[in-house]
Structure 1
């Protein structure tokens, strides 16, 4: 057998094994017990997702849309599996000819445009390591990522190229849009007719580097391999309930891990269409029309989007949606009820991190317990470990068993061996999130381990209190932190962002505090409230560490803001 025949056979074997794992999960999409018990991660020594899986789909369903993007003005850009396969091969060859080498790191800073997906597939084929990044980065953020990421190539929009002067001068630079002097013009790849690189990447070769959002520290650099996300997102595919032929819309911005989760790997593992709707400002009515017009079958959106959608008349549109997903923060039971009443679908929750794929979730066809993230997903063994005693029980930090490490787990934090060692101590990967598990195995999120605090010797979960706060119609967002107290050590204080149409006032503060007293056990009650904007990371996560520090400083100095209230203020009223 020739070397070429050997490679072809090896590729066929890899494709067949990957397909078998995928088909098993698709076949058992509503049989959680069997899927969890019998699923095994496929094990590869060598793997290149673009060659070993995407190309197989391009042959089988070549004329099926792999990607469809609808613009606000109605313009539609679409690429079939066959087109994306061919275009990404040209891009891989074009970039290689321009000097890109296997292992080179490519910073990709693009919005939801077709070249984003073409570039990612091309980079995988070329053996390059991708660093996806949001278009919202500051100049300092870009400089940090290029330096700490050891970036060798940059792909960005033409009108953003000036931001890279002086920080990426030695990089291979590609401009998407109008030609820019000193930059390769992205559209030129179409004329490339040279050889296509066939980089035979090892399964543990690097593929992706993600800068985490850094809620408590400088962003860490999460490293994923050729299999940890491409193969690992079989768990995400299972959680969402994706099937071949689905049209999947996930509301997420490029540059964050969730975008790769649900806008690249999970839907294309299933053989579904990635569907995007680009808008400058969210409009519930327009989104509903898009869902109806384009036959979206699976829909994933953050709670903020769901809350805005129910302001419109959901029952006025006939949708083809089969699965609804939400993740990331508390979702009001009222929202779940309204969607169920209008569409007959229950929104399902799930949990994962940049460091992993979907670990825990409510898969299709299973009973959903309001407030619970669900149960461990196939391929994950989850333990809850008490941070104080290291005992495994029904309350504690969410940890993943590492005997053996599951395929989707990151390789580690790049250039930070001590952080990796800390995160994987004691035979477990430690997520830093705390949860509880009930008698049926359902896991409910409690909060970040560094956010949970004690008040009068009771452990308080900010997440739990915030979930109650956002039930009040005047509350748009909330963050709960400990406020130092001479008697109780600390008391829960809520920082609240008001919904449109509501203004800060003493009367509203009293109303919200009373609402919390009516809905929380006495030891959990919120005793202080302040109407204020919330500090956030660039990815939108609330920086509670900043609120805690500021609150401690204000209490120590005896300071108070204009819109800050204590429950004691209302005792005599």
Structure 2
């Protein structure tokens, strides 16, 4: 344990942040709709979350666990709030000695290891801007980020150092692990001074994080977040997940992506909870369940891919061994089958939500909110959601948008109103034009399409670019995929329009099959018949292609745009591939 913790005066912004946080913690699990209606973002002028919030928590609960990492087969590490605050002070002073200054951009390429959290906190305290980088990035990706991102410093794990041999530039090189020639050893940071003092106040709207989006349809955009947009904005995420002070929270996500910051950093530490990490070389459900049982994890957030693997286990056998209170799905919409199986096994409702790299959690099924099948929930605290039709008018079916105009009145408890949601990005750092386009007309436009029912619940339809017309009907790929994925033989599926001379286009499903299933005409007929029985005639999947894998971004999102292009070109050539089956191949299905 470090001997001392630095103390910085409590600012009005820090007081306002704590009041907003405490309001949501007090309301959590009671009446989510009322809590959202009463919530107002705090008004902030100067705010540094690492200094004003995290260090304050470290003084209040110095011995409480902040980070708990279990490395499968290689031991574990626990770091308290007090230790983490003191360590990050040393790292901040050490980085300052290496030339890191306020506003400098630092690319951080680390795994789920203690130096990742130390580095982020230290950079935030210095006022530097962090560019999180995935371990999956190639040297070409890194050249793009270092060039367009204006990177002046790099902190990378030893395994990633060789990638930078191909990336020229005048940037400080720091290695976590055995440092090769030309790199500085991160372990030297232990010698940094424990007395950290900032070089001045941090404005709440100063830049903090710069994310390169995964780019499903175009070159990655540079999403800029500030000292208030992500740290304070993730109060909505804390509320949606239902994290409480002292919880042990597990979020399955890799560093470098926004969801890691959502739930492996800001949301749990906003609440004063412990971030739990389970590291293994290859994901397997049983070791994860064993670790969750042994360490008594309270809240779990995982993508649908992980949930699909978990339900292959006998989950009911773990019910009495686990301490789970809240279970969340994120990254992609959840299929009803997964929700039903988790509910049956554990008695817990697997709750969905929605947000983007550009925002925090916008819509969600918060604790205490009755869940409607297929819905991703209601608007979360701090967000006023609208659906815009093709003419930009508000409707019950359209593009998800956030209202940016002034909110009416102030909420009880001294939380002032504000128009623009605090959890929204500052903009795209590389394009004022693109920023203006998505902020046009008093709304931020997400590019996603949803429906809203009379009760205020939103149902995801799909990316605006993915929704298509067949026989003049609008088709949501996700809706069709949710049906097909329930077939026992289907592991993954992506639906895109297939050009058709009569109907303009018809739905086609690209499918990967479960191990042991044969991708032949019999299987195609079975799946087409299954879809026929479950879907309205205008939504019917009329073509299938079996594939070994689906094209994806490095963040794991399916690139339907690539499939659409491939399908359009193939139909234009009039070709049929092996593994392709059309409804007309089976005359009895057309009857």
Scaled to the shorter chain, the TM-score interval is: over 0.9
Question: Which residue pairs with 1:134 in the alignment?
Answer: 134
For this pair of structures, how many residues does the alignment match?
566
Q: CA deviation at 1:9?
A: 8.3
Question: Which residue pairs with 1:450 in the alignment?
Answer: 465
The alignment status of 1:322 with 2:325, answered yes or no, reads: yes
CA contact (8 A) 2:8 2:51 kept: no
**Deviation string for 1:207-236 (max 9, x for gaps)?**
000000000000000000010000000000
Q: CA deviation at 1:282?
A: 1.7
Question: Which residue pairs with 1:11 in the alignment?
Answer: 10
Q: CA deviation at 1:339?
A: 1.5
Question: Which residue pairs with 1:113 in the alignment?
Answer: 113
Q: 1:337 aligns with which of 335, 340, 347?
A: 340
CA distance in 2, matches of 1:64, 1:205: 30
**Deviation string for 1:260-319 (max 9, x for gaps)?**
000000000000000000011122111111111001000001111111111112122211
Higher mean alpha-carbon deviation, 540-549 vs 168-177, is at 168-177
CA contact (8 A) 2:333 2:352 kept: no
Q: SS of the residue aligned with 2:263?
A: helix
Question: Which residue pairs with 1:167 in the alignment?
Answer: 167
Q: CA deviation at 1:559?
A: 1.0
Q: CA deviation at 1:389?
A: 2.2
Q: CA deviation at 1:169?
A: 4.2
CA distance in 2, matches of 1:547, 1:275: 37
CA contact (8 A) 1:385 1:397 kept: yes
Q: 1:383 aligns with which of 369, 382, 386?
A: 386
Unaligned runs of 5+ in 2: 1-5, 406-418
TM-score (norm 2): 0.94
Question: Which residue pairs with 2:566 in the alignment?
Answer: 550
Question: Which residue pairs with 2:272 in the alignment?
Answer: 271
TM-score (norm 1): 0.97
Question: Which residue pairs with 1:205 in the alignment?
Answer: 206
Q: CA deviation at 1:21?
A: 0.6
Q: SS of the residue aligned with 2:196?
A: coil
Question: Which residue pairs with 2:429 in the alignment?
Answer: 414
Q: 1:358 aligns with which of 361, 379, 383?
A: 361
The alignment status of 1:399 with 2:397, answered yes or no, reads: no
Q: CA deviation at 1:19?
A: 1.1
Q: SS of the residue aligned with 1:53?
A: helix
CA distance in 2, matches of 1:218, 1:332: 29
CA distance in 2, matches of 1:415, 1:549: 27
CA contact (8 A) 1:29 1:238 kept: yes
The alignment status of 1:507 with 2:522, answered yes or no, reads: yes
Question: Which residue pairs with 2:579 in the alignment?
Answer: 563
**Deviation string for 1:488-521 (max 9, x for gaps)?**
0111111111122212111000111111111110
CA contact (8 A) 2:155 2:174 kept: yes
CA contact (8 A) 1:126 1:197 kept: no
Higher mean alpha-carbon deviation, 426-435 vs 313-322, is at 313-322
Q: SS of the residue aligned with 2:358?
A: coil
Q: SS of the residue aligned with 1:446?
A: strand
CA contact (8 A) 2:497 2:507 kept: yes
The alignment status of 1:534 with 2:534, answered yes or no, reads: no
1:360-375 alignment, distance < 5 Å: 360-375=363-378
CA distance in 2, matches of 1:390, 1:12: 41
CA distance in 2, matches of 1:193, 1:389: 59
| 126 and 333 in structure 1: CA distance in 2 versus 1, 3 angstrom threshold | same
CA contact (8 A) 1:385 1:398 kept: yes
CA distance in 1, matches of 2:13, 2:561: 46
1:22-37 alignment, distance < 5 Å: 22-30=21-29, 31-37=31-37
CA distance in 2, matches of 1:570, 1:523: 18
* RMSD (CA atoms): 1.4
Question: Which residue pairs with 1:145 in the alignment?
Answer: 145
Higher mean alpha-carbon deviation, 394-403 vs 496-505, is at 496-505
Higher mean alpha-carbon deviation, 282-291 vs 518-527, is at 282-291
Q: CA deviation at 1:74?
A: 4.9
Question: Which residue pairs with 1:3 in the alignment?
Answer: none
CA distance in 2, matches of 1:98, 1:431: 40
Q: SS of the residue aligned with 1:465?
A: helix
Q: CA deviation at 1:191?
A: 1.0
Q: CA deviation at 1:242?
A: 0.6
CA distance in 2, matches of 1:544, 1:314: 32
Question: Which residue pairs with 1:289 in the alignment?
Answer: 290
CA contact (8 A) 2:404 2:421 kept: yes
Q: SS of the residue aligned with 1:11?
A: coil
Question: Which residue pairs with 2:182 in the alignment?
Answer: 182
Q: SS of the residue aligned with 2:10?
A: helix
Question: Which residue pairs with 2:494 in the alignment?
Answer: 479
| 202 and 571 in structure 1: CA distance in 2 versus 1, 3 angstrom threshold | same
CA distance in 1, matches of 2:208, 2:12: 22
Q: SS of the residue aligned with 1:484?
A: strand
The alignment status of 1:519 with 2:534, answered yes or no, reads: yes
Q: CA deviation at 1:12?
A: 4.1
Q: CA deviation at 1:172?
A: 1.1
1:23-62 alignment, distance < 5 Å: 23-30=22-29, 31-62=31-62
CA contact (8 A) 1:235 1:379 kept: yes
| 67 and 8 in structure 1: CA distance in 2 versus 1, 3 angstrom threshold | closer
